[in-house]
Every structure is written in C-alpha cells, then in structure tokens.
C-alpha cells in the first residue's frame, strides 16, 4: 500500500500551474525530502496531498484508495483521511486562548483522548523539543523557531500514518534542524510515511547522511527525476 499516490497531479493557482502533472508516491516507513527552488510547488504538493487544497487535475490516492473530490457529501470521508495525516505547515497557526501544550495536544482531543493523557503526551513531546518551560505560555509569546517546533509537535502527537512537514527547519539553528530531522526520521523508522518539503540546502545536506532518506528535486511543478 502507498500512503500517497499522485498520478498526473495538476494544481492551478492564480491562473498559473503550480503543479504540472506530476507523479509521486510515498509508502509507509519512507522518509522523503522534496527539495527545490522557491516557487517550485513544494508547499502546493504537500497541501494537495494533505487535503488542504483541492487538485485541479490528475488523480490522488491516499492509503490505497482514491480520494473523493470535495463536496458536502464527501466531507466526512475527507475529514477521516485528514485525521490520519499530520501536517506541519510552513506558518503554523495556533489558538491563543489555549496554552502551548493545549494547542499541541489538539489532535489528541479530536481523537477523544482524556485531559491527563493529553497533558502527559504534550509535556513529553515539548520537553523533548526543548519547549517544556513554555508549555503554559500562549503561543503568541513564542519566537518563530519555537512556533515551528510546536507546529511539528502538533503534527506528530497523534501518531499519524502520513506526516507532511513543510519547511521544518526554517527559523531553526543547525542543531534545531538536525533535531527536527532526527524526530521525523525516527517516526519514519516506526512506520510513518514522512515527506519533508524544503528549500534549505543545509537540511538537504543533513538528510543525505540518512541512508534511508530519499531526496527528490521539484522544479516548476515537476520532479526532475522519476519520483515513483
């Protein structure tokens, strides 16, 4: 089974092709780094695969089945698929009336987990990411790099089968970027399909040291070499 399979995927944004008929697949346990210049379509690909943007053409399959196109009738099925996906967005948004720990634990709340369980898991993850002392703060009190790490924590906390991390190393120093990559690689080793989009040459260099990481280059809405 593939976690994501795209065939001839196209996305038009503002009248211009952001994705130009690309083929891509990622399987459970795989770690892929999608590199490429700014505007290449990296974020667009992760947004389409994460059901945050509707595709304009081609086919999208998630977890082995075709994704129903957006409609009111299809929304429960699409929402169920989204719950299997952890998206760490390039600019994560948080709810400022909740603490950082509560924000990070939101996917667990959606999964019906109780408060003690949520607090314990969020605390552990925040500690690991060096954000433990900020757990009770409002997200607006965080630096950009701290927000980035918190976004990553929220994306992975519920153990999603597919993790889509957009620019996970932006605003992080080298040590923080390496730590984020280690965490994502560990989750792939535990069976998640992990796709990282990045324009950060340092992160690509770090990823090359991971023998299991596959590095793809996206240019002008297409992969440079066959991706599937």
Ligand X SMILES: Nc1ncnc2c1ncn2[C@@H]1O[C@H](COP(=O)(O)OP(=O)(O)OP(=O)(O)O)[C@@H](O)[C@H]1O
Which of 13/190 has CB closer to ligand X? 13
Which of 41/50 has CB closer to ligand X? 41
The distance of closest approach from Cβ of residue 216 to ligand X in the complex, given in angstroms and rounded to an integer, is 12
The distance of closest approach from Cβ of residue 141 to ligand X in the complex, given in angstroms and rounded to an integer, is 26
Residues within the interface to ligand X (CB under 6 A) = 13-14, 16, 18, 36, 38-44, 199
- Compute CA distances 191 → 47, 90, 132, 171, whole Å: 21, 24, 26, 28
Whole-angstrom distance, CA of residue 43 vs CA of residue 7: 17
Mapped onto helix, strand or coil, the DSSP state of residue 119 is helix
The distance of closest approach from Cβ of residue 41 to ligand X in the complex, given in angstroms and rounded to an integer, is 4
The distance of closest approach from Cβ of residue 225 to ligand X in the complex, given in angstroms and rounded to an integer, is 17
* Sheet of 162-166, strands arranged across: 85-88, 162-166, 193-198, 31-35, 213-219, 222-223
Which of 109/214 has CB closer to ligand X? 214
Which of 18/22 has CB closer to ligand X? 18
Q: Which two tokens stand for residue 165?
A: 């991390």
209 class by beta-carbon count within 10 Å (0-12 exposed, 13-18 middle, 19+ buried) = exposed
């Amino acid at each position: 089974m593939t976690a994501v399979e795209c065939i001839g995927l196209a996305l038009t944004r503002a009248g211009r092709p952001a994705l130009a008929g690309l083929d891509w697949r990622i399987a459970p346990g795989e770690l892929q780094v999608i590199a490429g210049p700014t505007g290449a379509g990296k974020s667009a690909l992760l947004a389409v695969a994460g059901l945050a943007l509707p595709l304009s053409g081609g086919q999208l399959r998630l977890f082995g089945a075709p994704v129903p196109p957006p409609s009111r009738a299809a929304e429960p099925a699409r929402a169920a698929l989204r719950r299997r996906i952890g998206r760490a967005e390039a600019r994560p948004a948080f709810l400022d009336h909740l603490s950082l720990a509560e924000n990070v634990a939101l996917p667990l709340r959606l999964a019906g987990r109780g408060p003690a369980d949520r607090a314990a898991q969020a605390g552990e993850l925040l500690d690991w990411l060096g954000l433990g002392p900020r757990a009770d703060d409002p997200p607006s009190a965080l630096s950009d790099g701290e927000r980035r790490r918190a976004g990553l924590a929220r994306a992975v906390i519920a153990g999603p089968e597919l993790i889509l991390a957009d620019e996970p190393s932006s605003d992080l120093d080298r040590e923080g970027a390496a730590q984020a990559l280690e965490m994502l690689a560990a989750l792939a080793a535990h069976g998640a399909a992990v796709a990282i989009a990045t324009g950060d040459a340092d992160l690509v260099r770090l990823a090359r040291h991971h023998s299991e990481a596959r590095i793809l280059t996206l240019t002008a809405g297409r992969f440079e070499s066959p991706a599937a």
